[in-house]
Chains A and B, each alone.
Chain A
Amino acid sequence: MDVLVAENIYGGYGDSVVIQGVSIKLGKGEIVALVGPNGSGKSTLIKTIYGVARLFKGRVLFEGQDVTGLPPEAKTRIGMSYVPQTNNIFPDLTVQENLEMGAYIIDDPDKIADRMELVFSIFPDLKAFRDRLAGALSGGQRQMLAVARALMTEPKVMFLDEPTAGLAPKIAIGLLKTLIKIREETNIPMLLVEQHARRALELADRGYVLVSGRIAVEGRGEEILSRRDLQELFLGIQRR
């Protein structure tokens, strides 16, 4: 059974419909990449599914349960998790407090401590900075913290909106490798929005190419990458 199914989603902001009838799904333990040119609606699609942007039409099923109308906080409480592209940490809180707030919905302090140990084992850098204000972290550390915060709830599915945005290539690749490690350790399915299509499709199991608010192509990562027509048309990858 698919963990997450979004059917025929129309979404956007105010009165403007950005996403025009998109259907995607996410299976157990799958990493699915959502790629496409700037302004194609990748972020908006995630926001619409999560209830941050406006949903005009469509249905969202999580573990077979209809969660279409639920506000973001309720989605988090039932096991979904979302890393926004920007403003994805609490800058005025310490690293540790950021993680505690990530675990806000958990009441058992022992469980929170366990979760924090797991997160620190994945991101050892954060442990060293646990008492530092998050606003003082470097770009790469911030993104780690953003992912770490989203992991604290023991989510059953994770949406990541361009976690590598603005990072140096080396750091970006390191973070993507960490995502694979997280998947191996926790088997959490992830929907990953990425600006850098090649990187994302190489590591993902499947991919969707979004163009002007519609799915243009879907398939396995290598499949999409191997289609020469798509490379130039949708992904902006230069032919070597």
Chain B
Amino acid sequence: MVPTLAYTVFRAIIDGLLEGSLYALMGFGLTIVFRVTRVANFAHAEYVTYGAYAAYVAMVAWGLGLVPAAIVAALVVAGVALASDELVFKPLWRRGSTPLHFLVASIGVGLVLRFSLQAVAASVPGYLNIRLPEFPSTLAIIGGKVAINVVHALAPLLALGTTAALHVLFTRTKLGKAMRATASNPTLARISGINVIMVRRVTWIIGGLLAGLSGFIISYYIQANPEVGWNFLLWMFAAAIAGGFTFYGTIIAGIILGVVGQVAIILAGYYLGVTTAYKPAIALVIMVLVLLFRPEGIIRIQSLGLRRRA
């Protein structure tokens, strides 16, 4: 008979893959926005929350199905992300603000987004704690103990699909190459005649789409509230930092962090009686260790397979 601990760890790995995929999707948005615009965007957490709520409204208030709700979440958040750039970050950039100004401004944007959502959610009955009305169906039960459901498959597949789509965008299209060029050297991008304003818009839209999808997955999987994205903030930053703010590094670091974090907290609980409430501490510890010893990131993969065959 397989010992219970093995099942517990297996369960943690499955959950960790799901969470890691979310960290990857969210962290990637953070990374691409930071690389192109130098905004270390704390409001990215709130975009995730808005995705969760947009999906909920789409299903509950408008009676849409799961897939349309996911699309609504992605589009709404893309709009929110674009609006925060157009209204706050771009005007600051035009005035010559530094990354520090952007960072502080992004905290402000995040607060405004979070508490205005909170105010609205508090005034509508049933909106302070939400969960999509359709529960993910079970795909398989391993050993009669570990249930794997649709979301466990959906999140990693979405992360993989997104990575593949982004890879094509970045290596095969003029727009994608222009985005990488702008991330690599913004001044030279302008000098080369690249429309950096357009690149900037597309960047925010992509970051928003991914944050919206992440929010949708969260409210499909667990209960969400106006602070749900905020609770993920440490993890998405940990993924981006461990990935050295490189595109592929962030995705891989996110998935690894998800699994390591989940397995670590389960084992800590098993052996030391530590509750899962301490899980954010793991992200914090990883982040501090990386910043102390490898501030350039552990997994720096800028250009996975970017060298084309001649």
Specify whether A and B are partners: yes
A: which residues have CB within 8 A of B?
Answer: 50, 52, 71-73, 76-77, 82, 84, 87-94, 96-97, 100-102, 104-105, 130-133, 149, 153
The answer to whether the Cβ of B114 comes within 8 Å of any Cβ in the partner chain is no
For residue B188, CB closer than 8 A to chain A, the reply is: yes
A89 near B310: Cβ-Cβ < 8 Å: no
Residue of A whose beta carbon sits closest to that of B308:
A131
Extra 7 A-B pairs, beta carbons < 8 Å, given A76-B193, A104-B174: A73-B192, A90-B180, A90-B185, A94-B306, A97-B180, A104-B193, A130-B310
Q: Which of A82, A93, A130, A131 has a CB less than 8 Å from the CB of B191?
A: A82
- 29 A-B pairs with CB atoms under 8 Å apart are A52-B191, A72-B190, A73-B190, A73-B191, A73-B193, A76-B191, A76-B192, A87-B188, A89-B185, A90-B180, A90-B181, A90-B185, A90-B188, A91-B185, A92-B180, A92-B303, A93-B177, A94-B306, A94-B308, A97-B181, A101-B178, A101-B189, A102-B192, A104-B178, A130-B310, A132-B307, A133-B303, A133-B306, A133-B307
Which of A52, A91, A97, A105 has its CB near the most chain B CB atoms (within 10 A)? A97
List which B177-219 residues lie within 8 A (CB) of chain A.
177-178, 180-181, 183-185, 187-196
Given contacts A104-B174, A132-B307, A133-B307, contact A149 B183 (CB under 8 A): no
With A94-B306, A133-B303 already in contact, the answer to whether A101 and B187 are too (CB < 8 A) is: no
List residues of chain B with CB within 8 A of the CB of A104: 174, 178, 192-194
Which of B177, B193, B307, B310 is the one whose CB lies under 8 Å from A77? B193
Residues of A within 8 A of B163 (CB): none
Q: CB-CB < 8 A to B181: which residues of A?
A: 90, 93, 97, 101
Please indicate the chain A residues that have their CB under 8 angstroms from the CB of B178 in the complex. 101, 104
Interfacial chain A residues near B188, Cβ < 8 Å: 84, 87-90
B267-310 near A? 1/0 per residue, CB < 8 Å: 00000000000000000000000000000000000110011111
Residues of A contacting B306 in the complex (Cβ-Cβ under 8 angstroms)? 94, 133
Most chain A CB inside 10 Å of its own CB: which residue of B190, B191, B303, B309: B191
Contact A91 B310 (CB under 8 A): no
Using known A-B contacts A73-B191, A84-B191, determine if residue A92 contacts B177 with beta carbons closer than 8 Å: no
B185 surroundings in chain A (CB, below 8 A): 87, 89-91
The CA-CA distance from A143 to B189 in the complex, in Å, is: 17
Complex Cα distance A153/B180, Å?
Answer: 19
Q: Would A90 and B307 be within 8 Å (CB), given that A72-B190, A105-B193 are in contact?
A: no
Q: Which residues of B contact A87 (CB under 8 A)?
A: 185, 187-188
Chain B residue with the shortest CB-CB distance to A81? B191
Determine the distance from Cα of A102 to Cα of B188 in the docked complex, in whole angstroms.
9
B184:A73 contact, CB within 8 angstroms: no
Tell which of B188, B192, B303 has the most Cβ of chain A within 10 Å.
B192
Q: Give the residue name and chain of the B residue nearest to A134 (CB).
A: B184
Are A90 and B193 within 8 A (Cβ)?
Answer: no
Are B191 and A72 interface neighbours, CB within 8 A?
Answer: yes
| Residue among B183, B185, B195, B306 with max Cβ neighbours from chain A (10 Å) | B185
CA distance A93 to B179 in the complex (A): 11
- Contact at B194–A73, with CB atoms within 8 Å? yes
Task: Give A90 to B308 CA distance when docked, in angstroms.
Answer: 17
User: What are the residues of chain B within 8 A of A101 when measuring CB–CB?
Assistant: 177-178, 181, 189, 192, 194
Contact assessment for A73 and B196 in the assembled complex, using a CB-CB cutoff below 8 Å: yes
CB distance from B181 to the nearest CB of A (A): 5
Q: Choose among B180, B190, B194, B310 the residue that contacts A131 (Cβ–Cβ < 8 A).
A: B310
A149→B177 CA distance, assembly (Å): 15
Residues of A within 8 A of B193 (CB): 73, 76-77, 104-105, 153
Contacts of B307 in A (CB 8 A): 94, 131-133
Task: Give the top 7 A-B pairs by smallest Cβ distance, nearest first.
Answer: A76-B193, A105-B193, A92-B184, A90-B184, A101-B181, A90-B181, A131-B307
Which of A89, A92, A96, A149 has the most B CB atoms < 10 Å from its CB? A92
